[in-house]
Structures are given as C-alpha cells and as structure tokens.
C-alpha cells in the first residue's frame, strides 16, 4: 500500500503544512537501482586522534565509487567516515565533536555518516567508557540527521575485514539501516572477483520464499550472482515456481516443520552443497496471552524457531553447509522490544537472536560458517497493509527515517551478511530505520 503521507510531504504544500504543524518530514529513500547502483559524490574521511588503519582505509575508499577527500570544506559530501578507533580516554570524545560538528549539516540528502570505533576493552575501563560512549553518540545522531541520512557505528579489529561492511553502509543498499552498531572481527577476508556480483558461484537456499520478504531476498541474492533454491510450503507451490522461474532458480516445496526437513533439504542440494542458508519462513498468530490457546502458540514457535534449530543442526551435521558459507536468520524488533498481542511471535524471534549469539562462535570455529540475523522493523508488506490505519501510520513514523521499510531493504542487508567476510559473525542487525522501540 502506498505511503500517501510520504508522497504528500514531497510536495511544496506538504512541506509547508507539515513544517508549520511540526509533523515528521520524511525524505524518499534512495535505494539501489540498475541505473544508479552507487551513492555519488565525495567521501569525507576524518580522523579523531591517531589511527592504525589510515592507509588501509584510504585503499578501501579508493575502491568505492565515491571520491575520497580529507578536506572538511567539501560542500555536500555524500558520506562522512570518522575514524575514532584510536581514542581511549574521555578527552578524545572532544575530538569526535570537533570533527563532526562543523560538517554534519552539510551531508547530502540520503547521505551516510559512519563512525569507526575499536572493540571495547575488558581490561581498560577508561577505553571501554570512551568507546562505549560512541554508541550513545551515534544512536542520538541518527535521530537528528533527517532527510534520509543514516548513521552507523562499526567496531573493527581489521580494516580489510571491514571492507564488505563499509561498501554496504556507503551504498544505497543500506537505505533503511541506521543507528546500528556492527562488530567486525579480524578474520582474513576473501575479496570477490566482482564486487557488483559478490555471490557468483555460490548456492543459496531461502525459506519462505514464495512471497514478501523471502521473495525479495531470493531476487537480490540472484542479482548478486547466487544460484538460488527457493523453499516454501507445498500449498504455495504455484507462487514458488513463479519466483524460481523469474530468478533462474529452483523451487523446493517442503514443510520445514517436518521432522526430516533438514535431511530432505540436504538431499535436494547434493552434490555441490550449500553456501548460503537464509531462514526467512515465519508466521504470526496474534492474540493477547490471556486469549491465546495452544493452537495459536505452538505453530508460531514450530515454524519460526524449532524448525530453524532442527534444520540448521541437520545441515551442519551432514556437512551440507560448505566452509566459507553463511547462515542468515530473520529475527524481528518484536524479539528485542516485545509487542502486545505477540508473545508467541516475540518469543520465537528472541529465540532466533539467542541461537545466533550462541551458535556463531562454534559454527565458525568448527565448520567455517558465519551465523548472523536481520531484525526487521515496520516493513511494507501485505501483512502490514492489513493493519488498522492509525496503527499502521504509527508503525511507519516511529523511526528516525519516519517511514516504513520495503522488503528489499531486508533483502539487501541479508545479501550483505551472506557475502561478508568471517569478520561479521554473531551479529543481529536491525533493518528498521532506527525504530524508536528497542535498543
């Protein structure tokens, strides 16, 4: 369903009226298109304190489609990257202010502000306090920027391992990701042969792919070069085949709650195995707990969580997931902040977050597979279109970008996690326009 308020605020009368009334003034987000796949303009590279990554970062920025500069007099930079990895005491925070205060207003519409930080030290409480302070700073800045601009904090141990993450954040693909904190480890990265098709030669399986977010994920993975197997329940076979035909993939009608679903998935993928597993299938059966019978509780937990645990265990145990592969699961901000009438759904999505955080270290150490999650906020789908008008409008406006996201926003984030280096592991990235709910 079209966002009429967003369209109205894009007109001269709409801008005048909403400004006079003090109402949100969202800007139409610039997303990836074949005609305009990159942000365009200058990338202002600033440093607060000393940095061990200056040369590596300069090399990475030179490989983007932006024009790197260290001249803060640049009139309208498309992106600002502030390297604050070297600050370790509170006076260093004054350097963050001094670097960004003069330039933050000049960032172009739909621009990016990325702050680079260091991992929080468990043994140096001054460094820990200072680096943790960057999180509050970035989250607050994201709520101030407006005009479609986003901000992110990237805590990194290695600049080369962060290249895929920086490319994602400095592109239109990250349009609905803001106010997030992303940890990047020091795993040795393997750069793709073609950054425009970073998943070439990989096989992906997407569950719940007949429609909505799953369909968008399958499309973006295929666009990025993957051979995609789309999975959904047998009753959705017609729609599933249509998606598979459109993206040049393979349809696999299968009930993932079946006890042998993991084994059947593995059999369908032989002999090449699987490089990317996207757990997207999910259902809702909303009702307040006092009015929720077991018939509404159990299916949600079975589809959204139990099947994810069971099939993941089976595919890892059978060796179907290739080394260097990735698992990306779909959580939700409901699993972070809770939601009235969704105790079952929120429990299942919080369970996904627990799965990711627990499984990620061991899966990478034993199988060479990363495990991450996306946590969508208010996404414009058929499900949200059926929500009552005032609740739907509240969902759209209660984020820093003052609008709902699109299925492609979740898909772009999933594709980045699917192709990122092993340095991005155990992360839960919210795709919510920096929702005002949750952390």
pLDDT tens digits, one per residue of 393-434 = 788 899 999 999 999 999 999 999 999 888 999 999 999 999
In this predicted structure, what is the pLDDT of residue 7?
A: 86
**Could you tell me if residue 436 is inside a domain?**
no
Question: pLDDT for 221-241, tens place per residue?
Answer: 999 999 999 999 999 999 999
Question: pLDDT for 60-81, tens place per residue?
Answer: 999 998 999 988 776 799 999 9
**Could you tell me if residue 24 is inside a domain?**
no
In this predicted structure, what is the pLDDT of residue 74?
A: 65
**Could you tell me if residue 281 is inside a domain?**
yes
Is the same domain home to 246 and 124? no
Which of 184, 212, 235 finishes a domain? 184
Domain count of the fold of the chain: 2
Is the same domain home to 298 and 342? yes
The CA-based angle 170-56-80, given to 5 degrees, is: 30
**Could you tell me if residue 407 is inside a domain?**
yes
Is the same domain home to 276 and 341? yes
Distance CA 10, CA 27 (A): 7
154's tokens: 């990237």
Question: pLDDT for 287-345, tens place per residue?
Answer: 999 999 999 999 999 999 999 999 999 999 999 999 999 999 999 999 999 999 999 99
User: Is 381's pLDDT higher than 90?
Assistant: no
Is the same domain home to 270 and 167? no
The answer to whether 266 and 318 are in contact (CB under 8 A) is: yes
Is the same domain home to 276 and 385? yes
Give the CB-side neighbour count of residue 404, counting CA atoms within 13 A: 23
In this predicted structure, what is the pLDDT of residue 396?
A: 87
In this predicted structure, what is the pLDDT of residue 38?
A: 95
Is the same domain home to 66 and 129? yes
The answer to whether 403 and 23 are in contact (CB under 8 A) is: no
Which CATH number covers residue 98? 3.40.50.720
Is the same domain home to 100 and 137? yes
User: Is 59's pLDDT higher than 80?
Assistant: yes
Question: pLDDT for 137-164, tens place per residue?
Answer: 999 999 999 999 999 999 999 999 999 9
User: Is 439's pLDDT higher than 70?
Assistant: no
The answer to whether 16 and 51 are in contact (CB under 8 A) is: no
- The predicted model scores a pTM of 0.96
In this predicted structure, what is the pLDDT of residue 438?
A: 67
Tell me the residue range of the domain where 386 lies: 203-431
Give the CB-side neighbour count of residue 325, counting CA atoms within 13 A: 24
Could you give the maximum distance between any two Cα atoms of the chain, in Å? 63
User: Is 270's pLDDT higher than 80?
Assistant: no
Is the same domain home to 265 and 166? no
**Catalytically annotated residues:** 345
């Amino acid at each position: 369903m079209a966002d009429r308020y967003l369209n109205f605020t894009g007109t001269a009368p709409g801008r005048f009226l909403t400004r006079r009334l003090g109402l949100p003034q969202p800007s139409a987000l610039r997303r990836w298109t074949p005609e305009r796949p990159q942000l365009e303009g200058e990338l202002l590279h600033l440093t607060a304190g000393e940095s061990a990554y200056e040369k590596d970062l300069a090399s990475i920025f030179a490989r983007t489609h932006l024009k790197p500069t260290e001249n803060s007099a640049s009139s309208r930079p498309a992106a600002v990257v502030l390297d604050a990895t070297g600050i370790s005491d509170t006076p260093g925070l004054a350097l963050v202010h001094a670097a960004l205060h003069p330039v933050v207003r000049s960032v172009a519409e739909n621009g990016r502000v990325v702050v680079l930080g260091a991992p929080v030290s468990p043994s140096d409480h001054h460094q820990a306090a200072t680096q943790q302070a960057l999180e509050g700073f970035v989250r607050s800045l994201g709520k101030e920027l407006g005009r479609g601009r986003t901000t992110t904090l990237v805590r990194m141990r290695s600049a080369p391992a962060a290249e895929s993450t920086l490319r994602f954040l400095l592109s239109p693909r990250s349009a609905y990701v803001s106010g997030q904190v992303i940890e990047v480890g020091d795993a040795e990265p393997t750069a793709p042969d073609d950054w425009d098709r970073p998943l070439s030669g990989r096989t992906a399986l997407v569950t719940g792919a007949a429609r909505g977010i799953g369909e968008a994920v399958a499309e973006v993975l295929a666009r990025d070069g993957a051979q995609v197997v789309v999975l959904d329940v047998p009753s959705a076979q017609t729609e599933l085949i249509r998606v598979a035909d459109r993206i040049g993939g393979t349809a696999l009608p299968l009930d993932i709650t079946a006890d042998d679903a993991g084994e059947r998935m593995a059999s369908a993928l032989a002999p090449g195995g699987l490089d990317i597993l996207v757990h997207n299938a999910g259902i809702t059966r909303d009702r307040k707990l006092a009015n929720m019978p077991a018939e509404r509780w159990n299916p949600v937990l079975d589809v959204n969580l139990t099947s994810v645990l069971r099939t993941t265990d089976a595919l890892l145990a059978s060796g179907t997931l290739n080394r260097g592969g990735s698992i990306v699961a779909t959580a939700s901000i409901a699993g972070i902040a809770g939601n009235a009438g969704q105790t079952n759904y929120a429990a299942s999505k919080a369970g996904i977050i627990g799965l990711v955080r627990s499984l990620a270290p061991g899966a990478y150490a034993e199988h060479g597979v990363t495990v991450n999650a996306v946590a969508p906020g208010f996404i414009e789908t058929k499900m949200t279109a059926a929500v009552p008008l005032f609740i739907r409008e509240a969902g759209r406006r209660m984020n820093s970008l003052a609008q709902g996201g699109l299925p492609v926003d979740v898909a772009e984030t999933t594709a980045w996690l699917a192709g990122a280096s092993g340095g991005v592991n155990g992360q839960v990235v919210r795709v919510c326009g920096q929702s005002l709910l949750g952390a």
